[in-house]
Structure 1
Amino acid sequence: MSYIDGFVIAVPTANKEKFAAHARQLDPIFIELGAIRVIEGWGDDVPDGKLTDFRRAVQATAEETVVFSWVEWPDKATRDAGMKKMMEDPRMDPSNPANPPMPFDGKRMIFGGFEPVVEVRA
């Protein structure tokens, strides 16, 4: 089975196109480093929960949209090697003036790596 990195981000709704352009520029680096697939999902039906929800998890304001993204890797070893290279890649350094500014507050992004335990396909 594959290995998944998941991300939840609050993006200013007005920055939707900036976010998509940012993702189109940087997501191919994941593929270059061994990922199988990258998905960026713009929130469309993200309900408020009674105890917790996606919006609260990233402290999204009324002017922000929740983005749910994931990167699929062939296995954890490829992910670990790819993520290490990504963190060292100058194209990912937000302090590098040649890189586009992040169109969201990265401090409120939540993320984690996940080992699939069940996979069902059509």
Structure 2
Amino acid sequence: MTQQQQPKEYAMQEYVDGFVLPVPRANVQAYQKMAESAKAVWLEHGALDYRECVADDLGTETFRSFSEAAGAKDDETVVFAWIVYANKAERDRINALVMADPRLANVSCENVFDFKRMSWGGFSTLVAK
């Protein structure tokens, strides 16, 4: 089993795409506007939940901070985001629709944040409410 694979016995039904990315503080409003547009598209195509959160408490002496993990520079903050789907097959179906949706075709992130520095991964739910 590779590091990216999760044993099937741990997988609950819901599936989550998670994101962590540094965003220049000066661009947080522009990022929020972009995220609002994306949220509408993902939810319309069937995502169960869509959250984009901006950091406001990253100081820690005990653990590695999100700022460090995201490689945030002094003028950047961190966005932690996730999208919830019914299952992985639904995630794949919904993401295909989202990527083909013309409303996002003109959305450019290059002036808002550095897409290459974003961390992303798909996660099987281990514990839920």
Shorter chain as normaliser: what TM range? Answer: 0.7 to 0.9
Which secondary structure state, in structure 1, belongs to the residue aligned with residue 81 of structure 2? Answer: strand
**What do the CA deviations read for 1:56-79 (whole angstroms, capped 9, x no partner)?**
333210100000000011111110
Match of 1:26 among 22, 38, 46: 38
- Kindly, what percent of the aligned residue pairs are identical? 37
The separation in 2 between residues aligned to 1:77 and 1:34, in whole angstroms, is 12
Unaligned runs of 5+ in 1: 94-98
Q: Which amino acid aligns with 1:44?
A: D
Unaligned runs of 5+ in 2: 1-12
> How many equivalent pairs are there?
115
- Please say which of residues 10-19 and 55-64 is displaced more in the overlay: 55-64
User: Is residue 100 of structure 2 the alignment partner of residue 101 of structure 1?
Assistant: no
Distance 1:71 1:49, change over 3 A: farther
User: Is residue 93 of structure 2 the alignment partner of residue 81 of structure 1?
Assistant: yes
TM-score of the two chains, using structure 1 as the length reference: 0.83
- Please say which of residues 104-113 and 50-59 is displaced more in the overlay: 50-59
**What do the CA deviations read for 1:35-66 (whole angstroms, capped 9, x no partner)?**
01101110011235678442233321010000
The separation in 2 between residues aligned to 1:116 and 1:100, in whole angstroms, is 30
Distance 1:38 1:91, change over 3 A: same
- Cα deviation for residue 84 of structure 1 reads 1.8
Q: How is 1:106-121 mapped onto 2 (pairs within 5 angstroms)?
A: 106-119=115-128, 121=129
The answer as to whether partners of 1:48 and 1:55 remain within 8 angstroms in 2 is no
**What do the CA deviations read for 1:70-109 (whole angstroms, capped 9, x no partner)?**
001111111011112222333333xxxxx24321111100
